[in-house]
Amino acid sequence: MDLVALQNWLDNASFAVLFLTMLIYWGSAAFPGIPYLSVLGTTGMAIANLGIAALLGARWLDAGYFPLSNLYESLFFIAWGITAMHFLAEQMSQSRLVGAVTAPVAMAITAFATLTLPAQMQQSEPLVPALKSNWLMMHVSVMLLSYAALMVGSLLAVAFLVVTRGQNVELKGSSVGTGAYRDARYRLQRSNSAEAIPALNEPLGSESGGTTAVLPAVTSLTTKATLPLSPQRLTLAETLDNISYRIIGLGFPLLTIGIIAGAVWANEAWGSYWSWDPKETWALITWLVFAAYLHARITRGWQGRRPAILAASGFVVVWICYLGVNLLGKGLHSYGWFF
């Protein structure tokens, strides 16, 4: 079997399937009344996931090492990770909107790897001495899986901002570990409001006049809180907020493990656990951004728009760490990527 030809066929097929899947998910989101579109989208993501896995497996057999040594291989691995995390998020949310935001990113990654990278960068080559280590699979695979999880979680946060139109909505019990706290705080706020504010239909003014009036501030707050978003949008927003938190909560420990594994490997290869290489520095920045996100949700009880904005900014930080730093062509991690 010609493994090189098989790889070329699989990468183009994966791109084509993901492109069609993206269109199906977009059509399903735009026309929810059409049956079976979401099923077709899920099927397309499954085919793409298996196709990318077969591509990586064929490359592993052909090269004799785990395919994570250059940009082409890492792009397809992270695309595989995004499709895998998609199934987890879609299973938990039961929403077709998940595929509408994950499929375009996975498709764009495969398109960049297949159609943009030069042919010489798509070929497998012997490993440089620094990469001939068992830590290659441990460190790089965990880091890329963490990037995939954090990207999916961040994309769901972006979807939350779109669904809520950037408004600051009140959600109850949408975070693991803080739901009871937030639900109790919500009930306390509602109880205090009921005690402090008269009923809307209660007469105000002098006892003799009995003039009926409505508090303008209360009416304004009530209108802003309830009218702009339908109950369906609020339910979807709470689901997206919840799933985004869960997926980021999965990606963050993976990122932590990957950074620790990289430090151990760096000590073996270069004699130092940390050298403030650009890639290491941005990995730390990525860790701090999502640590702040989890801290704000778990200990501060943040929910809704503020953590979603923080997670959306994390999407940009992940891409800078993963790809942007390598555009500089500097540092200990520059080999096998662009320069």
Q: Is the pLDDT of residue 161 over 80?
A: yes
Domains of the chain by residue range: 134-168+229-339
Residues 282, 287: Cα–Cα separation, whole Å? 8
CA angle 293, 264, 148 (to 5 degrees): 40
pLDDT per residue over 50-103, tens digit each?
Answer: 999 999 998 888 878 888 878 888 899 999 999 999 999 988 887 778 899 999
Q: What is the pLDDT of residue 151?
A: 95
Higher pLDDT, 220 or 241: 241
pLDDT exceeds cutoff 70 at 140? yes
Kindly report the number of other CB atoms within 10 A of residue 13's CB atom.
18
pLDDT score at 188: 42
Residue 146 has pLDDT above 50, yes or no: yes
Between 320 and 178, the more confident residue is: 320
Residue 99 near residue 30 (C-beta atoms within 8 A)? no
| pLDDT > 90? residue 177 | no
Neighbouring C-alpha atoms within 13 Å toward the C-beta of 23:
5
What is the predicted pLDDT for the residue at 48?
95
Render pLDDT for 229-238 as a digit per residue (tens, 0 to 9): 677 778 888 8
pLDDT interval class at 23 (50, 70, 90): very high
189-207 pLDDT, tens per residue?
A: 444 444 443 433 444 344 4
3-state helix, strand, coil in the chain (%, to 5): 75, 0, 25
* Spatial separation of the C-alpha atoms in residues 76 and 13, rounded to whole Å: 13
The pTM for the full model equals: 0.79
What secondary structure does DSSP assign to 226-270, as a single string? HSSS-HHHHHHHHHHHHHHHHHHHHHHHHHHHHHHHHHHHHHHHH
Q: Is the pLDDT of residue 134 over 80?
A: no
Q: Is the pLDDT of residue 187 over 50?
A: no
- Gyration radius (Cα) of the chain, Å: 24
Could you give the angle at the alpha carbon of 259 between the alpha carbons of 53 and 88, nearest 5°? 40
Mean pLDDT, to the nearest integer, of 112-123?
A: 84
CA-to-CA separations, 103 to 25, 28, 211, 216, in angstroms, rounded: 8, 13, 59, 46
Tokens representing 78 are 């992270």
Report the pLDDT value the prediction gives residue 209, as an integer from 0 to 100: 43
Residue 220's pLDDT is what? Answer: 29
Please report where in the chains the tokens 């460190």 appear, as a residue. 139
Tokens at 182, concatenated: 């937030």
Lowest average pLDDT, out of 58-62, 109-113, 138-142, 230-234, goes to 230-234
pLDDT at 196: 42
Say which residue, 247 or 220, is predicted with more confidence: 247
C-alpha 228/C-alpha 48 separation (Å) is: 38
pLDDT at 37: 82
